[in-house]
């Protein structure tokens, strides 16, 4: 097992916000290779997040963000299990970052389960007609349409969107990271995005 210095452990902690012992174990498991240790922590974090997914989230905060122009504002409800976590700095920062995400990307809904059926059907029809106009084979139409629907989800569903600060990861991934660090279930509740002079409520 690799001999891991405290300095290397601290560097990993600063990058991931994971606990010191978790960082040390990750580095030991990955022979001191930081990139592998980060991946190891994320994998463990996802497993923890799945275990906690069913736990009640009756506490939390309202995160907010107003753009520097003063013309776009967002409020988002971020839920957790205890008031102690609601006061946690990392949790509060997550709420603000989610509000900034919503301000920048204007999601239609939280996840694909919340996409209105009529919106989905309209998009499917548009994609099908486009594929036909492009002369795509009839036996490929369904596959083409579903591929475009998957991309559509990433545009309009908050949890499926690429995170604005790291577009290789989704908003869901960022939340799962925080669940792994904090040790509680975290859920996004309601959100509202207001644009000056427009009916921008979600």
- The DSSP symbol for 108 reads S
**What's the pLDDT tens digit per position in 145-201?**
999 999 999 999 999 999 999 999 999 999 988 888 878 889 999 999 999 987 644
CATH number of 116-155: 1.10.286.20
pLDDT of residue 200: 44
pLDDT at 40 (0 to 100):
83
Closest CA to 158 of 179, 138, 175: 175
Instruction: Show the DSSP H helices in the chain as ranges.
Output: 6-16, 20-29, 34-52, 83-86, 89-105, 117-133, 141-156, 171-182
**What is the fold, at CATH topology level, of the domain defined by 59-110+157-195?**
Tetrahydropterin Synthase; Chain A (3.30.479)
Q: CATH number for 6-52: choose from 1.10.10.10, 3.40.50.720, 1.10.8.10, 1.10.1380.10.
A: 1.10.8.10
Question: pLDDT tens, 6-41?
Answer: 888 888 877 766 677 888 888 888 988 888 888 887
DSSP string, 52-99: HTTS---EEEEEEEE-TTSSEEEEEEEEES-HHHHT-HHHHHHHHHHH
Would the pTM count as exceeding 0.85?
Answer: no
């Amino acid at each position: 097992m690799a001999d891991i210095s405290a300095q290397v452990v601290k560097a990993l902690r600063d990058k991931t916000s994971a606990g010191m012992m978790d960082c040390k174990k990750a580095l030991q498991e990955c022979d001191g290779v930081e990139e592998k240790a980060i991946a190891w922590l994320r994998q463990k974090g996802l497993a923890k997040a799945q275990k906690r997914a069913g736990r009640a989230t009756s506490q939390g905060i309202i995160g907010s963000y107003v753009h520097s122009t003063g013309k776009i504002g967002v409020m988002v409800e971020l839920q957790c299990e205890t008031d102690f976590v609601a006061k946690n700095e990392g949790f509060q920062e997550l709420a603000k970052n989610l509000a900034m995400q919503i301000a920048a990307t204007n999601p239609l809904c939280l996840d694909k389960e919340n996409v209105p059926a009529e919106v989905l059907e309209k998009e499917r029809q548009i994609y099908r007609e486009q594929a036909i106009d492009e002369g795509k084979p009839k036996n490929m139409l369904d596959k083409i349409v579903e591929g475009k629907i998957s991309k559509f989800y990433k545009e309009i569903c908050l949890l499926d969107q690429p995170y604005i600060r790291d577009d290789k990861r989704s908003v869901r991934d960022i939340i799962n990271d925080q669940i792994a660090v904090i040790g509680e279930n975290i859920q996004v509740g309601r959100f509202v995005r207001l644009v000056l002079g427009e009916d921008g409520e979600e």
